[in-house]
Amino acid sequence: MKTRAWLEYLDDEDVAFLRRFLLASGTLKELARQYGISYPTVRLRLDRLIDKVKLIEAHEQVGAFEMQLRMAFADGKLDAETLRRLLDAYRQEGGQE
């Protein structure tokens, strides 16, 4: 995987959050202040972003369609059962692993 390939799979909102996180020197309290939300909410958002990056790196060899399904799952747009069924159907139709 290219060093920055994981960035390609993050949506604009995730990249903006990451940028603000870096500009706040990684201070979650400052980030919470900027967004006008609680510290636990910012922590949850960061944890989800970390999980996304881990997911991308763990499945770097999959095709674009499968990666998009996994990103939709990570974003909460698909539940685990729907993801499993879609991946199974995709693979049965000859999609790449």
Residue range 6-30: average pLDDT? 93
Instruction: Please name the residues in contact with 83: beta carbons below 8 A apart, sequence gap of 6 or more.
Output: 69, 70, 72, 73
> Which of 44, 43, 66, 45 is closest to 55 using CA atoms?
66
Tell me how many domains the chain contains.
Answer: 2
Do 3 and 43 lie in one domain? The reply is: yes
Residues 30 and 68 placed together within one structural domain of the fold: no
Residue 34 binned pLDDT confidence (cut-offs 50, 70, 90): very high
Asked if 54 and 89 sit in the same domain, the reply is no
Across the range 81-96, mean pLDDT stands at 88
> Is 0.85 topped by the overall pTM?
no
Here the CATH number for the domain that contains residue 12 is 1.10.10
CA dist., res. 21 & res. 48, Å (int): 14
For residues 51-55, give the mean pLDDT.
89
Look up the domain containing 96 and give its range.
61-97
